Structure 1
Amino acid sequence: MSPSADAAAPASTSGPTLAPLIAAQLNYLLSHSKLPFQVWFPSIPPLPRLTLPLPSHGVRLQVEQIWSGCRNDRYADRFTLAIPFCLDYVHWDFLYNALYPKVAPDVVFGPDDEGFQPLVDYAEAGNGDKSCLSHWNCRDPGGLLALVEELRDLYIEYQKKRVGEVDDARLAFELSTVLSKEGIEVCMVPPTDKPDEVKFAVPLLDLDYAKLVQGCPWRSPQKIHLQVIFPISRRVNTIPSAPRLKLMSTPDLKSLFSVEDVKLPPWLNGMCLAEYLPSLEENLKVQIVEASASIGSRRRFIEALGLSFGRPLEADPIFCRRATVLCISGVFTFLVHFAIPLQFPKQQPVLVLQSSQHCNVKGIPIMSPPINDYPWSPRWDPAEMVERIYDFLTDECQNFKKFCSDAITQQK
């Protein structure tokens, strides 16, 4: 499992289909993996035209490329997987042989991981018989899944070992005090022009967020992590500089709570993660409970829309982040879209008007720019908030009607 000369250059993504036995294993991996996958970094290139069916609930692993390593390219037999690790991705090539699809794949790891030789480490530890490769069954669709999970677990330990070998007293102390926290991952930051750094990915708050939201549609667990990047200091008797801190969350959680709006506690001189995490988690927990309670405020606002506008045409019934009402002024009919922020009522909804009678040259209904300069006070009750918006739109709809007419005129 090391860089192989047999690794052919990836061909076009419109090449041959995967050999059936290989396709079955890859499809099973995509469908059944329960690894703690993260999707904070959407920088991975779009999926190529895959030649196997994808699971209906979405892809858990990113398949970057599929190609053939044989001259007889009736079947593709190798692919690159982007495997989430430490709030980023590692990219590994899995090399099967279409002429011998019953043989287990070889794996090519990243260029910065020449020291990662899991089979050698297993053999030296006397655990070779525990590897899934020791009893590989090509007709077991879960073989690739077991291999990826095994390699990822070994890679976590490999990175911990690398970080533990760094000659930095502060890092040694951090490792000894926080690595016992379940789910934490550490790694050396790939070399760049910057000084050497070590990254910690620390899971926060063991909460079932779905239970905070009635009727929550989330199928997968939602997570919040703290990314901590420590600069490596090899100088003795120097004051360690503060690490770079950043909160990250799974995308679905942003419907309830935005980590970008959280102000992190300051990192004091001499502080360590074991001291920093308790206050951060307590602060986060309070804000998440408040975010859950704010759903009720947004729901009451949406319900109040019916008093002035009539029953909304559509609304978000779970997180209460949006609603649309139909309005009529004389013969002019238009829609009003409400985008309700998480910070409601401190922040007012953003309105967008959409004509039901005017379209651009592409047949798309004409819409207004976002509007948030109408009268507002977070101290008003929902009925008064809606009434003030209604009064504002009574005049604003005439400006919007003229805006639509001018847009139509310019198209002629």
Structure 2
Amino acid sequence: MAPYNRPLEPSIAAQVAVLCSFPKVGFQVRDVRCGWEDAEFADRFTVLVPCGWDKLEWYVQFNASRPGDPPDVIFHSSPNGLRFHPLLLPGAASASDSSSWGLLKDWQQNDSYRLVRLLLHLRALFLQQQRRQAEAVEDERVKFELGTLAHQEFEVYAPLAAGKSSPEELQLAVPVLGVDLRPLTLFRWWSEWLKRCGSDLQLRLLIKFPISGSSSSAGFKPSTPQLKLDAPPLLLSLLGFPETKLPAWTDSMCTVAYLPELAAFIHQRLDDAVSSMQSRADFVSALPAVFGQPLETDTQLFSQTTVFVSASNCMFLVRIALPPSFPQQQPSLTLQSAHHFTAANRPVSSEPISSFPWSPRWATAQMAQRLGSFLEEEGAPFKRFCVDVSRGAGPARP
């Protein structure tokens, strides 16, 4: 089946758009295809379904000529996929709207949330199967971790390797509770983002334990698991991940004991990030008094802004990159001419400049003023640099 380049059938496209924007799970769609070469629209695709550390591949197949029909969902031919038969599970044949059959019955192509509801239901059934698979494992560590988490919400994934009849690792996804994101409401963009996410926004700890197969406490030797924080990418970036390391897991720890330490760590990271972002926002707010209104600004993280400068008969843009550790770490500047071009017809630009008068102890107004004075002095040498480059004889940097 060739992946003919066609747009999705409109009602299917609407359902895919809702699926990809659903914040709680993080579905992804790829390999959009047509059923046949002369088809007007594409109608089938692969959905990446997050489960623990992994992403399952489920193949969704509509019929573009009959978009009102429910889709087929084909599960990946892995050992886990071959064992998953959601329509044969107890209660699956029920006609209720919440059952597998109920979601497929009377499929409404104009209901753009129908596909996401179906895949959420199938994912929930798959995770139920995974939990039963994990609970059947004769391993002291697995039983201990599942037992201590019994009274709270969590997801289990116990993947089977090829040729194996029992899982070799246990993956958990546990919500991190007690993290207050309200400090982000100080910033308009983040306040609106939090409202859009609503209750679907979650921070989760992903944990991966090896399964030793020890069925007695005498052979119970806790090993350090792999850890990862799962959250929307923009929030992870704000908190400094993946560069930031999670708190260490000690030998005597279990998941329940680790979660409060992680929540306190994230709360401190959030406070630091909000403080730094406020400093960057204050600096950007001080720029108009010196340069006029910035031409563009990153209003999500305040990580960069662009101002227009005219000095020594040279007009140029200055792109100011503000690091996460601002103001302790000074910005970097890239100058771009407004009227000099390279042989490739691109604006002449400088290399990033990170050596100029700076002190994190200055008030933001003084930072902006000192930056303006520096750029006033840079006008003449940057103009000479631009002229040389535009003539094909320029140095590497001004």
TM-score range, shorter chain: 0.7 to 0.9
Displacement, 1:151?
Answer: 0.8
Please give the secondary structure, in 2, of the residue aligned with 1:333: strand
- Other-structure match for 1:114: 82
Are 1:27 and 2:9 matched, yes or no? no
Please give the secondary structure, in 2, of the residue aligned with 1:348: coil
Displacement, 1:357?
Answer: 1.8
User: Could you say if the C-alpha distance between residues 401 and 167 of structure 1 is closer, same or farther in structure 2, counting changes exceeding 3 Å?
Assistant: farther
- Other-structure match for 1:151: 122
Which consecutive unaligned segments of at least 5 residues does structure 1 have?
1-9, 40-59
- Superposed, 1:194-213 pairs within 5 Å as 196-205=168-177, 207-208=180-181, 211-213=185-187
What amino acid maps onto 1:168 in structure 2?
D
- Superposed, 1:178-189 pairs within 5 Å as 178=149, 180-182=151-153, 184-189=154-159
Distance 1:190 1:329 in 2: 66
- Other-structure match for 2:95: 129
User: Could you say if the C-alpha distance between residues 95 and 317 of structure 1 is closer, same or farther in structure 2, counting changes exceeding 3 Å?
Assistant: closer
Matching residue within 190, 210, 233 for 1:231: 210
- CA-based RMSD of the aligned residues comes to 3.4
Tell me the TM-score normalised to structure 2 length. 0.80
- Other-structure match for 1:13: 4
- Other-structure match for 2:197: 220
**8 A Cα contact 2:280 2:326, kept in partner:** yes
User: Could you say if the C-alpha distance between residues 122 and 97 of structure 1 is closer, same or farther in structure 2, counting changes exceeding 3 Å?
Assistant: farther
Distance 2:285 2:42 in 1: 56
Displacement, 1:323?
Answer: 2.2
Deviation readout 1:103-135 (Å, 9 max, x if unpaired): 544321112221111111135xx7633324247
Distance 2:384 2:49 in 1: 53
**8 A Cα contact 1:168 1:233, kept in partner:** yes
Deviation readout 1:244-264 (Å, 9 max, x if unpaired): 122243123256432335342
Are 1:266 and 2:248 matched, yes or no? yes
Distance 1:337 1:75 in 2: 43
Displacement, 1:73?
Answer: 5.7
Please give the secondary structure, in 2, of the residue aligned with 1:259: coil
- Superposed, 1:89-100 pairs within 5 Å as 89-96=55-62
Distance 2:332 2:356 in 1: 10
Please give the secondary structure, in 2, of the residue aligned with 1:276: helix
Distance 2:336 2:58 in 1: 48
Matching residue within 332, 341, 349 for 2:323: 341
Tell me the TM-score normalised to structure 1 length. 0.77
What amino acid maps onto 2:357 in structure 1?
P
User: Could you say if the C-alpha distance between residues 307 and 231 of structure 1 is closer, same or farther in structure 2, counting changes exceeding 3 Å?
Assistant: same
User: Could you say if the C-alpha distance between residues 239 and 254 of structure 1 is closer, same or farther in structure 2, counting changes exceeding 3 Å?
Assistant: closer
Deviating more after overlay: 262-271 vs 388-397: 388-397
User: Could you say if the C-alpha distance between residues 34 and 251 of structure 1 is closer, same or farther in structure 2, counting changes exceeding 3 Å?
Assistant: closer
Please give the secondary structure, in 1, of the residue aligned with 2:252: coil
User: Could you say if the C-alpha distance between residues 400 and 249 of structure 1 is closer, same or farther in structure 2, counting changes exceeding 3 Å?
Assistant: farther
User: Could you say if the C-alpha distance between residues 367 and 154 of structure 1 is closer, same or farther in structure 2, counting changes exceeding 3 Å?
Assistant: same
- Other-structure match for 1:62: 29
What amino acid maps onto 1:232 in structure 2?
I
**8 A Cα contact 2:312 2:376, kept in partner:** no
Deviating more after overlay: 93-102 vs 382-391: 93-102
User: Could you say if the C-alpha distance between residues 240 and 330 of structure 1 is closer, same or farther in structure 2, counting changes exceeding 3 Å?
Assistant: same
Displacement, 1:13?
Answer: 2.8
Distance 2:389 2:134 in 1: 61
**8 A Cα contact 1:62 1:83, kept in partner:** no
What amino acid maps onto 2:140 in structure 1?
A
**8 A Cα contact 1:66 1:80, kept in partner:** no
User: Could you say if the C-alpha distance between residues 313 and 129 of structure 1 is closer, same or farther in structure 2, counting changes exceeding 3 Å?
Assistant: closer
Matching residue within 115, 132, 135 for 1:164: 135
User: Could you say if the C-alpha distance between residues 202 and 368 of structure 1 is closer, same or farther in structure 2, counting changes exceeding 3 Å?
Assistant: farther
Deviating more after overlay: 235-244 vs 282-291: 235-244
**Percent identity for Structure 1 against Structure 2:** 33
Displacement, 1:208?
Answer: 4.7
Are 1:257 and 2:239 matched, yes or no? yes
Deviation readout 1:314-347 (Å, 9 max, x if unpaired): 4345643322222222211112111112221122
What amino acid maps onto 1:220 in structure 2?
C
